[in-house]
Amino acid sequence: MIIIAVIMIATYVLISTEKMNKTLAALLGGLGVLLFVKVTSLTTGVEIFTDAEIFSELVDWQTITIVVSVLVIVEVSRESGLFDWLTIKLVKMTKGEPTKIFLYMNLLIFGLSALLGAAPAFIIVGSLTLVVTKNMQLDPVPFIFSEIMIANSGGVSTIISSFVNILVASRYDLAPEHFLSYEGFILIGVPIGIILVLTNFVLFKFLYGKQMKEATLSASADIKRIFTELDEWQVVKDRSAFYRTAILLVGTIAAFTIAGFINVPFFLVALTSAILFILFSGMRVEVILRKMDWEMALFFVGIFILVGGAHKVGLLDLFGESIGVMAGGNKYALWIIIIWLSAILSGFMDNISVAAMLVLVIPTIAAIGFNETSVIWATILGANLGANLTPIGGVANIVAISLLEKEGTHISWLDFMKLGGVITIVNLAVATGYIILLSAVFGW
């Protein structure tokens, strides 16, 4: 237990400090666990887990299948020009007014993050935002910062809106009794997602309202005319592929919803949709596969082996029991601990790796006498919202910092955390109140 704890801590330190590529760190951590288990088996005869169990129990292939399938759907949709088309269409509706651009861009990124996840949504909207702000001679920081916060907060909305949600829901086989089916997740996730977005808008109005008003007043008629004359179809290479992709995306969302009612496995729907996207995209398979983010899938494999090994030796059970003791049998204290602990850890470590660890701790906490559904949702909320805390809290954050630096704008940790810290604290307070409200409604 001690040796695996050391391997686990070392891996998380490498991930959180970015001293090494996070996927490589995760794979090294998983390899370290496997080598230790094999050496222990050969020298002492004690077998912590068999070779077969590595692939049958430690690695959650349903989650891996969903992750890869979602990556395919996002890549094909992006290549079709669908998301760029939507973004430009929305910008045209603003008629070049900065205040409206600020509002509409954030609403768009909330919708896209609910459908695609925070990182893909930000890559699409964030890139265009920089083009718009540069042409309008606006400070890009308020736009980019607000979009990061909205994208991460919107990550609580649906199963596929963040990899944290996919991981937790898959571990519980989309159990409807825990509101982890597609429609169950929407029932719990969308309301808090909307509440958080509205809360963030109030904060943004306080922080950036005066700046947006001044920018709107100073925007020239020539600039406004340029944006009203934009042609959204210029970003679409093939209209036929565009329409096919749009229909498939709507069909996929409908299929996810229906599958929950007829007990069709979520991974099967995701895989079928991904194959249909490839077949009808008009793109070559090797091109799609080459452009996909395979690092994410490999990261999951490494983390699964790492936390699976820790779970096998009882390390995570000990951690779960310690959290239960800290709560002192009080469910409200437990929710606060879970939400805020998972958020803080997610802010300084990858929230996927945090969720992968905590999801194995939940049954231990539930066994002590706490409601399992409430602990699941406290984990989901905390891990998602903690991404706003630091520049490395989420993939969208890292992408944003990189994009701004390419434009000559440097954002320090302190600058980021001045805003991210406030947003995170307020969001966590709202999430804590939401869990308490849900407990009253559902009897948790």
Contact call for residues 212 and 104 (beta carbons, < 8 A): no
**Which pair of tokens denotes residue 432?**
């804590």
Distance of CA 333 to the CA centre of its chain: 26
Whole-number Å distance between alpha carbons of 163 and 113: 11
Whole-number Å distance between alpha carbons of 161 and 152: 9
Residue 42: its pLDDT value, please?
79
Whole-number Å distance between alpha carbons of 443 and 375: 13
Contact call for residues 109 and 147 (beta carbons, < 8 A): yes
Residue 220: its pLDDT value, please?
62
Contact call for residues 16 and 392 (beta carbons, < 8 A): yes
Residue 222: its pLDDT value, please?
62
Residue 190 identity (one-letter amino acid): V
For residue range 213-251, list pLDDT tens digits in order: 777 666 666 666 666 677 778 778 888 888 988 898 888
Which residues in 188-213 are b (16+ Cβ under 10 Å) and which e? bbbebbebbbebbbebbeebbeebbe
Tally of residues, the chain: 444
Whole-number Å distance between alpha carbons of 393 and 349: 7
For residue range 393-402, list pLDDT tens digits in order: 777 787 788 7
Burial class (CB in 10 A: 0-12, 13-18, 19+), 177: exposed
- Mean pLDDT rounded to a whole number for the chain: 83
Number of Cα atoms under 13 Å in the Cβ half of residue 276: 16
Q: E-assigned strands of 244-303?
A: none
Question: What's the sign of the alpha-carbon dihedral 310, 315, 321, 324?
Answer: negative
Contact call for residues 35 and 139 (beta carbons, < 8 A): no
Whole-number Å distance between alpha carbons of 29 and 5: 11
Whole-number Å distance between alpha carbons of 23 and 77: 25
**Which pair of tokens denotes residue 232?**
């959204």
Whole-number Å distance between alpha carbons of 375 and 339: 9
**DSSP type of residue 292:** S
Give the residue carrying structure tokens 């007043």: 217
Whole-number Å distance between alpha carbons of 365 and 213: 49
Contact call for residues 350 and 389 (beta carbons, < 8 A): no
Tell me the C-alpha to C-alpha distance, in Å, between residue 11 and each of 2, 108, 353.
14, 36, 10
Distance of CA 106 to the CA centre of its chain: 16
Contact call for residues 49 and 68 (beta carbons, < 8 A): no
Residue 310 host element (H or E): helix 294-312
pLDDT in tens, the chain (444 residues): 788 888 888 887 887 777 788 888 889 988 998 888 888 887 877 777 777 777 777 777 887 887 788 788 878 887 888 877 877 787 778 776 788 888 888 888 898 888 777 777 777 787 778 877 777 777 888 888 899 899 888 889 988 888 889 889 888 888 889 999 888 898 999 999 999 999 998 898 888 878 777 776 666 666 666 666 777 787 788 888 889 888 988 888 788 778 766 777 778 888 998 899 888 877 778 887 777 777 778 887 888 888 888 878 777 778 778 888 888 888 999 999 999 999 998 888 778 878 888 888 898 888 888 899 999 999 999 999 998 988 877 777 877 887 787 777 878 878 888 888 999 999 999 999 999 999 999 998
In degrees and rounded to multiples of 5, residue 318 shows phi and psi of -65, -40
Residue 379: its pLDDT value, please?
93
**DSSP type of residue 371:** -
Find, among 395, 294, 295, the residue nearest to 23 by Cα: 295
**Which pair of tokens denotes residue 91?**
């910008």
**Which pair of tokens denotes residue 437?**
């409200």
